Amino acid sequence: MDKQITKKMEEIVGKDWVVTNSKDIESYIKDETEEAIAPKPCFDCIVVKPTTTEEISQIMTYANNENVTVVVRGGGTGCAGAAVPIKPSVILSTERMNKILEIDDNNMMVECEAGVTLFDLEEEFNKHDSLFFPVHPGDEGAQVGGMIVQNAGGVRAVRHGVMRNHVKGMEIVLPTGEVIKTGGKLIKDNTGYDLTHLMIGSEGTLGIITKAYLKLYPKSSNSGSLLISFEDKKAAIEVVPKILKKGITPLAIEYLERQFMEKSADDLGLEWPAKKGKVDLYFILDEKKQDDLYEVSEKIVEECEKNGAVGSLIAETYKEQRAILEIRSHGYPSVQAQVVDILDVCVPIGSINDYMDGIERLSKKYDAYIPSFGHVGDGNIHNFIITEDGTKPENYDELSQEIFEIAVGLGGTITAEHGVGKIRNSRLNIQYSEKHLDILRGIKKVFDPNNILNPDTGITIQ
């Protein structure tokens, strides 16, 4: 990295907050993308750790004038290589911008800096007597800024949706260094094009979020978990829209293949509580009154039994609920060494079984084990492409291409949560026309005329 750039960064944020030592930089150039498909990181980088919007504005003004590439780094928990620098870059870490600025009870909003982690938010609202923030992707190291630009979802999306449903405003430093503000503590705002929503899901390519207003919700204090077992995988999937149509909206509905959960439990020295059947639906419930919790549980069990469920189990105590959640959350880490790619497609809920038929056909065609697991209540089942040692199989490109084509053919998307990042850019044309891609490129050019902010992420500009 050019010494002039390092010197300028030291002037802006102070010498102590510029990392130039390659050993320390190492942990900033990777994210949680599977190694077999992760972008090749560039080591010729420095890490800068500002604490104010003004410092970030100065960094971007300089970078834009001098044509220096900048990659923002949140918690580094992304799964699509978006935060990985692939050319010499200034890595701008938001880790020191970690203040929760205000919890406004009356307006039911929290104002916080972008580097606040999900863990920090959870801690804060565990202490709060009546309000909480609902979005919860699986890694609590994720930061608010990263969650916004990735439009994060997670298990609670069945009831609460994704980040897009809860971000009401933000402060943004543009790639050219100017600062703009969007929205606020507002429920309604119809003034002009909606830049708040353009930033949500922009994968760190249009601007740097420095602050955000997030909507809060009243807590319900009666939670419970249900595990309902099925012999037939299709029957388990079929029952999901039937439950939702009844007006029952659990926090989460997860599809868990038994083999997978037993492996995860084994790994943790625990036991998966369901024994009958081959697959489980895992419902997380959260109701205002204890009676409501029982009533909703009964209705779900009844509907599942009508659809062929062979067993059901209600976890009421904190310990029982925690154990199931822990095993579910460990599902991915328990096979991580063998995973080549976690696919993240989404299809309409009513088409999940058609999608799964496609997966079964491809498993046979490519002689591949492609287990499925995840957010069945949102149509967002994660499929794992797995090999014995996690190395990319020769037919990976064709296999994944066919999976994406099946999803898009059913009216779905190639990525529901993880984003395009730097690993799925070449697949965008499966979903979008050339005109659509042109509009995306045009938007990027308006925000970032010199293409200095996280280039080659999401959409590539020549």
> Site for ligand FAD (CB under 6 A): which residue of 57, 58, 64, 150?
150
Q: Check binding of 41 to ligand FAD (CB under 6 A).
A: no
Tokens of 120: 């920090």
Q: Check binding of 152 to ligand FAD (CB under 6 A).
A: yes
167-206 residues near ligand FAD, rule: CB under 6 A = 203-204
> Site for ligand FAD (CB under 6 A): which residue of 76, 175, 201, 277?
76
What's the one-letter identity of residue 385? I
Tokens of 65: 């004038």
CA distance 38 to 342: 12
Burial label, 88 (beta-carbon count in 10 A; 0-12, 13-18, 19+)? middle
Closer by beta carbon to ligand FAD, 362 or else 424: 424
Closer by beta carbon to ligand FAD, 149 or else 314: 149
CA distance 133 to 266: 32
Q: How far is the CB of 455 from ligand FAD (least distance, A)?
A: 11
Find the part of the chain contacting ligand FAD (CB under 6 A) among 36-44, 79-87, 285-293, 362-370.
79-87
CA distance 424 to 422: 6
Count residues contacting ligand FAD (CB under 6 A)? 37
Question: Element (H or E) spanning 176, and its range?
Answer: none
> Site for ligand FAD (CB under 6 A): which residue of 78, 175, 201, 379?
78
Q: Check binding of 51 to ligand FAD (CB under 6 A).
A: no
Q: Check binding of 280 to ligand FAD (CB under 6 A).
A: no
Give the relative orientation of helices 3-13 and 53-66 as an angle to the nearest 10 degrees. 160
Q: How far is CA 286 from CA 124, 238, 244, 377, 451, in A?
A: 20, 23, 15, 15, 45
Q: Check binding of 71 to ligand FAD (CB under 6 A).
A: yes
242-269 in b/e form (b: 16+ CB < 10 A) is: ebeeeebebbbbbbbbbebbbbbbeeee
Is 351:412 a contact under the CB 8 Å cutoff?
yes
Find the part of the chain contacting ligand FAD (CB under 6 A) among 74-82, 270-278, 383-391, 402-410.
74-82
Closer by beta carbon to ligand FAD, 42 or else 313: 42
Q: How far is the CB of 271 from ligand FAD (least distance, A)?
A: 22
Nearest CA to 66 out of 204, 207, 176 is that of: 176
Q: Check binding of 454 to ligand FAD (CB under 6 A).
A: yes
Q: Check binding of 285 to ligand FAD (CB under 6 A).
A: no
Find the part of the chain contacting ligand FAD (CB under 6 A) among 134-142, 221-229, 299-307, 425-433.
134-142
Question: Element (H or E) spanning 349, and its range?
Answer: none
417-446 residues near ligand FAD, rule: CB under 6 A = 417-418
Q: Check binding of 273 to ligand FAD (CB under 6 A).
A: no
The contact mask relative to ligand FAD for 305-344 (x = CB under 6 A, - = no) is: ---------------------------x------------
Is 410:353 a contact under the CB 8 Å cutoff?
no
> Site for ligand FAD (CB under 6 A): which residue of 60, 68, 90, 114?
114
Q: Check binding of 377 to ligand FAD (CB under 6 A).
A: no
Q: Check binding of 412 to ligand FAD (CB under 6 A).
A: no
Contacts of 193 (CB under 8 A, 6+ apart): none
Tokens of 276: 């009958």
- Three-state DSSP at 245 gives helix
Start-to-end CA distance of the chain, whole Å, equals 23
Instruction: Count the neighbouring beta carbons within 10 Å of the beta carbon of residue 143.
Output: 30
Residues interacting with ligand FAD, by CB under 6 A? 31-32, 71-79, 82-83, 94, 114, 137-139, 142-143, 145-147, 149-150, 152-154, 203-204, 208-209, 332, 417-418, 454, 457
